[in-house]
């Protein structure tokens, strides 16, 4: 594995509650990404980061926020979880421009 840890690995939460997912890397890679994976949609980019405190939106960013205060940690927050945010969330890291990305093991989030 490429030194990426996602936590928690599984979570069940209620509609309307805040949820934070954590991605931790030990590779000192510059780029970090959050994707969600749903049947029929593949991997869709939520947010990504190109450095500490530098983040940008992906194609499905509504309802999500992120923070990166340290190189090794990239947090994804659902301010008020909805059932449509039930999904598998993957974090990915990338060393520099034009290289491959490595994925964490995923977090299965269920919003009831």
Partner 1 sequence: EDKVVQSPLSLVVHEGDTVTLNCSYEVTNFRSLLWYKQEKKAPTFLFMLTSSGIEKKSGRLSSILDKKELFSILNITATQTGDSAIYLCAVGNFGNEKLTFGTGTRLTIIP
- State yes or no: residue 35 binds partner 1 (CB under 8 A): yes
- State yes or no: residue 24 binds partner 1 (CB under 8 A): no
- Interactions with partner 1, residue window 74-103 (CB under 8 A): 90, 92, 94, 97-103
- State yes or no: residue 62 binds partner 1 (CB under 8 A): no
Cα–Cα distance, 26 to 90 (Å, whole number): 16
* Residues 6 or more apart in contact with residue 10 via CB below 8 angstroms: 107, 108, 109
Residue 80 per-residue DSSP state:
S
Structure-token pair, residue 3:
């030194």
Residues making contact with partner 1 (CB under 8 A): 31, 33, 35, 40-45, 48, 50, 56, 58-59, 90, 92, 94, 97-106
């Amino acid at each position: 594995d490429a030194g990426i840890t996602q936590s928690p690995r599984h979570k069940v939460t209620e509609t309307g509650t805040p949820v934070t997912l954590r991605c931790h890397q030990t590779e000192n890679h510059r780029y970090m990404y959050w994707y969600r994976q749903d049947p029929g949609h593949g991997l869709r980019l939520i947010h990504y980061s190109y450095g500490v405190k530098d983040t940008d939106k992906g194609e499905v960013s509504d309802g999500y926020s992120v923070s990166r205060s340290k190189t090794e940690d990239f947090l994804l927050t659902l301010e008020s979880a909805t059932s449509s945010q039930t999904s598998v969330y993957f974090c990915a890291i990338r060393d520099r421009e034009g290289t491959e990305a490595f994925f964490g093991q995923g977090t299965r989030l269920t919003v009831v």
